[in-house]
Amino acid sequence: MTDVKVAIGKVETRIEHIERHMLTKGQTAAYALVAGIAVFGAGWWVVQQYLAPLVAGLPK
């Protein structure tokens, strides 16, 4: 029985360590927002650099 209690204590310690370093929903949402802004910005740059000159060169 003592071995079981010691094992459970070790598991609880590991779970507490994991919980302290785990991302929250808010942090995950913030990282997703930053990544989305970066992807949108990169896409916008591609449109400005490559698509805009092509559209400007089309006959009217």
Work out the angle at residue 38's Cα, subtended by the Cα atoms of residues 32 and 40, and round it to the nearest 5 degrees: 100
pLDDT given for residue 30 in this prediction: 97
pLDDT digits (tens, 9 = 90+) for 36-47: 999 999 999 998
Which segments of the chain does DSSP mark as H helices, in order?
2-21, 25-46, 52-56
* Residue predicted with more confidence, 60 or 51: 51
In the prediction, which pLDDT does 36 show?
A: 98
- At 5-47, the pLDDT tens digits run 889 989 998 888 888 888 889 999 999 999 999 999 999 999 8
- Does 4 score more than 80 pLDDT? yes
pTM of the entire predicted model:
0.58
